[in-house]
């Protein structure tokens, strides 16, 4: 019976979440292609064997495929779903068909279609945040230490109850929720914290310590933490906001998530942070299941917005095969005024695919190690 509950809590929510985000991303490509007169040959949720499909009045085949770990939007004239190569039969298309074939479009139109996928992921997240802020309003929890756990790193360093945290590693802290984000971003698990105690501003530099956190399934995971708890009072209370203000807050939240993610990537590239935080679909499924099992629908929706931002951002990385790789190519074509050589494109996309596969293997290995630690090192 437990396996059935795990399917309900982990597999079903994960597939729903991934399906929604993939649909949003590919629909961005689809709608801009339609608006610019490009023929969409296929719109698929999933890869591999087709399980269900139908053709609409404009010739697009909508389908659900067997492997539900992604999707694609394929255009007339493409030899593959990534628009990285041109179909050899494209030259035999009629002049009318060539007007609707992706390879024959100018680079500005191609750029708009490619950017629409990540753009819709960002727009989706902004709409989620806007709806939440407009309906639920905002709460402000002050970054004040309500309790410093005796065995925690903060207490050992001298941080006390009542201290107001001003900065962590140079980043200003305005809300208690920002503390965990900055602690997670701490390179080498070291923190430099400024706090206000009365009229004094004190500085503390110390390493974080691992604290065992119990999960909803009874297992525990060790995490580097400060070891502090928040005060239970809300500083400014519940604040209703207008739709315009909610949108502004949503854009700011989306921007903050993007900046935080890029900071983490930058730390990995410069060697300040290890690669153990790189996760793949297994980690996403695990996190989705944990939220579904022990938290509410609101947390699930917020997590969906967070993943939508990350999906959009990752696709903008300048790696051939990803949307960002195509963006670089089309920008180069716009600047040079001529189309890139097909052979050069092919080599670039082969390199990009190899890099992407390597990253997926690395992420999957991290996921497996993380699950092993969670299940057996409790």
How confident is the model at residue 215, as a pLDDT? 52
Tabulate helix, strand, coil % of the chain (nearest 5): 55, 20, 25
Residues 176 and 131 in one domain: no
Q: Find the largest Cα–Cα distance for the chain.
A: 79
Residue 184 included in any domain: yes
CA of residue 66 relative to chain centroid, distance: 24
Residues 262 and 319 in one domain: yes
Angle between the N-to-C axes of helices 107-136 and 243-269, in degrees from 0 to 180, rounded to the nearest 10: 120
Kind and range of the H or E run holding 299: helix 297-315
- 33-79 pLDDT tens trace: 999 999 999 999 999 999 999 999 999 999 999 998 889 999 988 76
CA 281 to chain centre: 12
Same domain, 294 and 378: yes
276: in domain? yes
Give the CA distances from residue 14 to residues 260, 288, 364, in Å, rounded to whole numbers and listed in that order. Answer: 24, 6, 16
pLDDT at residue 28, as a whole number: 97
134 and 144: one domain?
no
3-state secondary structure of 144: strand
Number of structural domains found in the chain: 2
Q: Report the pLDDT value the prediction gives residue 236, as an integer from 0 to 100.
A: 45
Single out the catalytic residue among 2, 26, 147, 286. 26
- Residue 209 is predicted with a pLDDT of 83
Active site residue 26: yes
Helix (H) or strand (E) holding 328: helix 323-336
Joined tokens for residue 356: 């992407």
* Same-domain status, 191 and 330: no
Question: Of 237, 260, 287, which marks where a domain is finished?
Answer: 237
Do 123 and 270 have their domain in common? Answer: yes
Domain range for residue 310?
A: 105-138+241-378
Q: How many other CB atoms sit within 10 Å of the CB of residue 121?
A: 26
Nearest to 18 by CA among 324, 307, 366, 364: 307
Cα 161 to Cα 145, 195, 227, 309: the distances in Å are 5, 11, 12, 35
In a domain, 245, yes or no: yes
First-to-final CA distance of the chain? 24
- Which residues does the chain have with pLDDT short of 50? 216, 234-237
Residues 315, 184 share a domain: no
Q: Rg of the chain's alpha carbons, rounded to an integer? A: 24
């Amino acid at each position: 019976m437990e396996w059935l509950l795990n399917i309900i809590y982990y597999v079903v929510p994960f597939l729903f979440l991934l399906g929604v985000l993939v649909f949003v991303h590919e629909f961005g490509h689809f709608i801009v292609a339609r608006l610019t007169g490009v023929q969409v040959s296929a719109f698929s949720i999933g890869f591999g064997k087709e399980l269900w499909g139908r053709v609409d009045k404009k010739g697009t085949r909508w389908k659900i495929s067997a492997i539900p770990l992604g999707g694609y939007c394929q255009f007339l004239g493409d030899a593959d779903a990534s628009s990285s190569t041109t179909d050899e039969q494209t030259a035999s298309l009629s002049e009318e068909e060539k007007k609707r074939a992706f390879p024959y479009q100018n680079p500005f139109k191609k750029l708009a279609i490619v950017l629409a996928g990540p753009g819709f992921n960002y727009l989706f997240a902004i709409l989620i945040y806007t709806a939440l802020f407009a309906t639920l309003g905002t709460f402000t929890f002050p970054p004040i230490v309500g309790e410093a756990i005796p065995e925690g790193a903060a207490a050992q360093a001298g941080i006390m109850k009542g201290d107001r945290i001003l900065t962590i590693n140079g980043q200003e802290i305005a809300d208690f929720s920002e503390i965990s984000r900055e602690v997670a971003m701490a390179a080498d698990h070291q923190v430099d914290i400024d706090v206000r105690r009365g009229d004094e501003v004190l500085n503390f530099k110390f390493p974080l310590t691992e604290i065992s956190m119990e999960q909803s399934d009874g297992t525990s995971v060790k995490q580097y933490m400060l070891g502090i708890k928040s005060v239970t009072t809300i500083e400014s209370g519940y604040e209703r906001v207008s739709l315009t203000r909610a949108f502004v807050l949503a854009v700011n939240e989306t921007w903050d998530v993007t900046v935080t993610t890029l900071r983490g990537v930058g730390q990995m590239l410069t060697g300040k942070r290890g690669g153990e935080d790189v996760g793949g679909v297994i980690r996403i499924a695990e996190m989705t299941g944990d939220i579904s099992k022990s938290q509410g629908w609101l947390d699930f929706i917020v997590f969906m917005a967070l993943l939508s931002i990350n999906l959009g951002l990752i696709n903008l990385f300048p790696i051939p095969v990803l949307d960002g790789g195509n963006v670089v190519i089309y920008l180069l074509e716009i600047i040079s005024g001529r189309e890139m050589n097909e052979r050069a494109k092919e080599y670039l996309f082969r390199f990009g695919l190899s890099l992407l596969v390597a990253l997926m293997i690395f992420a999957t290995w991290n996921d497996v190690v993380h699950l092993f630690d969670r299940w057996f090192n409790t």
